[in-house]
Structures are given as C-alpha cells and as structure tokens.
Amino acid sequence: MTRRPTPTFAEAPSTSRARVAASILDADLGNLAHAVGRAEREGADRIHLDVMDGHFVPNLTFGAKTIKALRRRTRLPFDAHLMISNPAAFIDEFLDAGCDSVTIHVEIKEDIEPTLRAIRAAGRAAGLCVKPRTPLSALAPYQRLLDIVMVMTVEPGFGGQTFMADVARAKLLQAREYLSHKLHGSEIHVDGGVNRESAELVGSLGVDILVVGSALWFKGRDMAREIRLVRALADEGYQYGLNNGVPPIPRDKMVTFASLPRPGARTLRAEIEGAGIPVLLFRSPADPADMDDEVRRWDLLLPASAEAAAKERFGRRRAALARTTARPA
Ligand code: DX5
Ligand code: ZN
C-alpha cells in the first residue's frame, strides 16, 4: 500500500479547536533534529520539550542548549515542560533558547513567582504543572500570573505510561477556573498517556492542548493519521460533552464585533486589546470602496473564541461609541 503524501503544516494548518503538542521524549534521541522536522511535516501543532534533571523526577533528558539547537529546525512553537527542582537558575537560558511557553512544576521548593514573572516579562506564556496527586488549589497563589495550566495524567518522568482517567475527570474542567482572569489565549494542557483512547474524554473536559508522546513514535505508525485522529476525537468530545452538540469554533476563526467610524473604532480597539484580546481593523465592505476613510465605517474583528467575553465586557461601550461617533444623517 502506498502512503499518501502528508500535507505540510504550512499548506494545511489545522482548523480544529484542539491542538496537538508532539512530545519528543520517545523519539530517537540520537536524531532530535529529524524528530522535530518530522512532527512538523506530519501535522503537529507544537513541539513539547520535556526537560528532566534526575532530581525532581527520576530521569534525565536534555537542557536549554539542545532546545536552542532544535529551534532552527522547525517553525512550530516550542512548549518547554521543566521537570526540574530549580528552574530559576536556568530560566534565562530557556527563554534565550526560543521557548514560546515555559511551564514549571508547582511542587518545587524554591520561589515560583519570580520565574513566572521572568517568563511573562520576556513575552512568553507562563505555565504551572500539577502532578497527579497535587490538588489544583496549589495553583491559587499564582493564579494571575498564569497563561497555562498543565495537568499531568501520569507520574512525570517517563513516556508510555497508562492514562489516569480519574485524574483527568477530577481536574481538567476545573482547571479553567485558574485561568478566568484571561479573556483570551489561556490554555489547559493535558500531559501523559494521551492517545486515540483518551482523546475524546480529555476533549469533553475542554482541554486546549493535548500533549502526545509515545503514541506518535511507535515503529511503523502513521504519525499524521494519529495526530488527525487525536485532534478530531478531542473536538468530538468537546462538541458532545461541553457544547450541546454544536461543533467547536475552529481556533483561527475571526468574527466582526463592531462596525464604527474610525475614531470610535480606534478607541474600542485600544480598550479591547487592553483586556488581552487581539483585534484587527478593516475598512467595512458595507460602505462603498471609494468612501473617505474618515467617514466610512471600520470593522473590528476578534477571535470567535473571545466573542462572548468581549460582548460581556464591551457590549455597552460598543453601543455608546456607536451613538457618539455616528455620522449625521
Ligand atoms: C512525562 C512527560 C510527557 C511524556 C508523555 O513526564 O511529561 O510529556 O512525553 O508521553 P506519553 O504520551 O507517552 O505519556
Ligand atoms: Zn511533558
């Protein structure tokens, strides 16, 4: 049987809600450059990098230098998962290596807050991870510094372990509460034992990022198909478990939130962006193409996933600006 060519990431970006982060822990560690290139070609959305220090977990992997060397081998975002006791001493190196997000463990003994602040100051996403037996309430003191909550559904340290469904049920949906301060762009990651067997359940619990390790690297496995299956099953779970049978919004979908003359549009854009929601401003096609820019209406577009939050927070403001900046009839 001939294998069909797999579309590259650039040609076929996924439009699903759920995203797959490929963990390279179980790839050929002698050829990680090939592994990240392959994960990209086969359609992974991200690369998940498991850093272990032999102290926080009973295993050793690689560090910031390896990540830096891999950085130029793929365009995919890098999520670093630091299973180390003292991330503060190394955080600058991981940021310099080009990690797009860095997640550390809440169980470590050192001060957590400065490390989270350093990650955010560098413009990257900051995350905290909880081991299976750590309650989510351990995150409470750091809540406002979090972009990511990562829930471990195996004991950290090794790939290929069995998924803990009871931990997923107890924590995944509830984890969202710890990200309620962020109107847009917060993420729940699930890490450990995620594959086609568990994807539907974690999708039904609202997970955004599914970390998939060993399931991708079995010899002879069609990795592209595995990634598509996991994503599709997670979306199915979301649709039937959380969304009343309605398919989830594709992650890149934008919607028109307001149509206003330029001064009002600019004011509203600044206010919405101030709340962390990205906004695009376009000349509205509802007005003639040759109409003066100062007079015509401008459309504010924002991610569909942030629409409800924007309506709640800025709905009245939108109406007020529409009244005050309306053109005379
Ligand atoms: C385990 C790591 C995981 C691991 C997942 O400590 O954090 O990222 O690679 O591997 P699987 O998917 O095989 O459980
Ligand atoms: Zn991990």
pLDDT in tens, 49-63: 999 999 999 999 999
CB 67 within 8 A of CB 24: no
CB 272 within 8 A of CB 304: no
Phi, psi values for residue 212, rounded to 5°: -125, 125
Cross-strand bridge partners of residue 260: 298
Q: Which ligand is nearest to the CA of 214?
A: 1
Residue 191 known to be catalytic: yes
Q: Does residue 182 line the site of ligand 1, with CB under 6 A?
A: no
What is the chain's mean pLDDT, rounded? 94
- Ligand 1 atom at minimum distance from 52 CA: 6
Q: Among 32, 50, 194, which is best to mutate for testing ligand 1, by the most ligand atoms less than 8 A from CB?
A: 50
Q: Token pair for residue 171?
A: 């924590």
> Distance between the two ends of the chain, CA-based, in angstroms?
68
CA of 26 to the centre of ligand 1 (A): 8
Residue 14 pLDDT exceeds 70 = no
Q: How confident is the model at residue 282 (pLDDT cuts 50, 70, 90)?
A: very high
Q: Please, which residues have CB less than 5 A from ligand 2, an ion?
A: 50, 81, 191
Give the mean model confidence (pLDDT) for residues 28-57.
97
Shortest CA distance to 261 belongs to which of 303, 222, 312, 298?
298
Q: Torsion-angle region of residue 122: left (phi > 0), alpha (psi -120 to 50) or beta?
A: alpha
Rounded Cα gap, residues 183 and 206, in angstroms: 16
Rounded Cα gap, residues 91 and 105, in angstroms: 13
CA of 267 to the centre of ligand 1 (A): 45
CA of 314 to the centre of ligand 2 (A): 37
Output the pLDDT for position 122: 98
Residue 92 known to be catalytic: no
Q: Does residue 248 line the site of ligand 1, with CB under 6 A?
A: no
Output the pLDDT for position 13: 54
Residue 329 pLDDT exceeds 70 = no
Q: How confident is the model at residue 300 (pLDDT cuts 50, 70, 90)?
A: very high
Rounded Cα gap, residues 180 and 149, in angstroms: 11
Report pTM: 0.92
Long-range contacts made by residues 13-16, C-beta under 8 angstroms, separation at least 24?
13/252, 14/43, 14/45, 14/231, 14/251, 15/250, 15/251, 15/252, 15/253, 16/231, 16/232, 16/234, 16/235, 16/248, 16/250, 16/251
Rounded Cα gap, residues 193 and 211, in angstroms: 9
Output the pLDDT for position 33: 97
DSSP E strand stretches across the chain: 19-23, 46-52, 78-83, 101-105, 125-130, 148-152, 187-191, 209-212, 254-261, 280-283, 297-303
Q: Which residue has the tokens 């081991």?
A: 131
Output the pLDDT for position 1: 44
Cross-strand bridge partners of residue 150: 129, 189
Of 191-200, 252-261, 301-310, 319-328, the one with minimum mean pLDDT is 319-328
Vertex 129: Cα angle to 178 and 206 (nearest 5): 55
Phi, psi values for residue 150, rounded to 5°: -110, 125
CB 216 within 8 A of CB 39: yes
Output the pLDDT for position 326: 66
Residue 3 pLDDT exceeds 70 = no
Residue 268 pLDDT exceeds 70 = yes
Residue 11 pLDDT exceeds 80 = no
Residue 178 pLDDT exceeds 80 = yes
Give the mean model confidence (pLDDT) for residues 158-180.
97
pLDDT in tens, 93-143: 999 999 999 999 999 999 999 999 999 999 999 999 999 999 999 999 999
User: DSSP label at 84?
Assistant: -
Distance of CA 74 to the CA centre of its chain: 18
Q: How confident is the model at residue 328 (pLDDT cuts 50, 70, 90)?
A: low
Residue 12 pLDDT exceeds 60 = no
Vertex 233: Cα angle to 227 and 239 (nearest 5): 140
Q: Which ligand is nearest to the CA of 57?
A: 1
